[in-house]
Amino acid sequence: MTRPDAAAHDVAPYTLAVDCGGSGIKASVLDAHGTLHAPAVRVPTPYPLPPAVLVETIAQIAADLPAAQRVTVGVPGMIRHGVVVATPHYVTRAGPRTAVDPVLEAAWTGCDVRALVEQRLALPTLVLNDAEVHGAGVVSGTGLELMLTLGTGLGAALFDGGRLAPHLELSHAPVRWGVTYDAYVGQTERRRLGNGLWSRRVQRVVEGLWPVFRWDRLYLGGGNSRNISPTVLERLGEHVVVVPNQAGIVGGVRAWDLPRGAGDAH
């Protein structure tokens, strides 16, 4: 178990940052400057995945990492004040795009993940939507900034002057009749279409969202952002920036400095 280190340096507190995805769970420990103190550890997301299994998976990863004084966990879905309102992948029997298990759905709905992690690791914990943690790692704090993560599905987080706005699950909104954003640009479609055609879909999503948000800057992150074709990136223009997937870990530190209110009251 990760415990506070009595010999903490002047760059404490150290943060255990955990990025929970549909296909993998990745974590590392960082100092207050966002420097990794161990290589990121990644394990496949186990299914079926009741809350207790997720928490124990985090604890097992933490046991092999340096000591930390606090924890940040990014979880896919609608998270309010550390409590799961709805999560798309962890309620399924065998992972993304498989059947929903009603027992798992009931277990996750209203689950206070923050309390469970705090109890298991005995450390202060911050739990946000995973795209919100990614965004915390890259936003400048100036103007309206939108973070979109491209991975198993589509994640989104909005920041205004560095303040996290209430979360909207864009991933479940229809991009066309009967097709959600999750399905339209998710990992399954990227594999089916190939990077070229899939990148054009990403371009359509960005162009379609522009009139809705009129951002000052849009960040594209997540594991699949690196697969966007150079041609599409050029078309998207200078106010769209691709950021490394590592932002989901680095954001675990910066998330603690976000103005409180919308995302978490800890």
Strand bridging mode 15-20 / 154-160: unpaired
According to DSSP, the residues that pair with 160 across neighbouring strands are 144, 163
Q: Where are the alpha helices (H) located in the chain, listed in sequence order?
A: 51-63, 102-108, 113-121, 130-136, 181-185, 187-193, 195-213, 230-236, 247-254
3-state helix, strand, coil in the chain (%, to 5): 35, 25, 40
As given in the structure block, the two tokens for residue 258 are 């976000």
As given in the structure block, the two tokens for residue 256 are 């603690």
| 180 contacts: CB under 8 Å, gap ≥ 6 | 171, 172, 173, 174
Q: Where are the alpha helices (H) located in 7-145, listed in sequence order?
A: 51-63, 102-108, 113-121, 130-136
pLDDT of 176 reads 87
In contact, 18 and 259? CB cutoff 8 Å: no
pLDDT of 10 reads 56
pLDDT of 260 reads 62
pLDDT of 177 reads 87
Place of tokens 């594991």: 223
Largest CA distance in the chain: 57
pLDDT of 246 reads 85
Place of tokens 């103190």: 37
Instruction: List the chain pLDDT tens, one digit each, 266 residues.
Output: 444 444 445 588 999 999 999 999 999 999 999 999 999 999 999 999 999 999 999 999 999 999 999 999 999 999 999 999 999 999 999 999 899 999 999 999 999 999 999 999 999 999 999 999 999 999 999 999 999 999 999 999 999 999 999 999 999 999 988 899 999 999 999 999 999 999 999 999 999 999 999 999 999 999 999 999 999 999 999 999 999 888 889 999 999 999 865 444 44
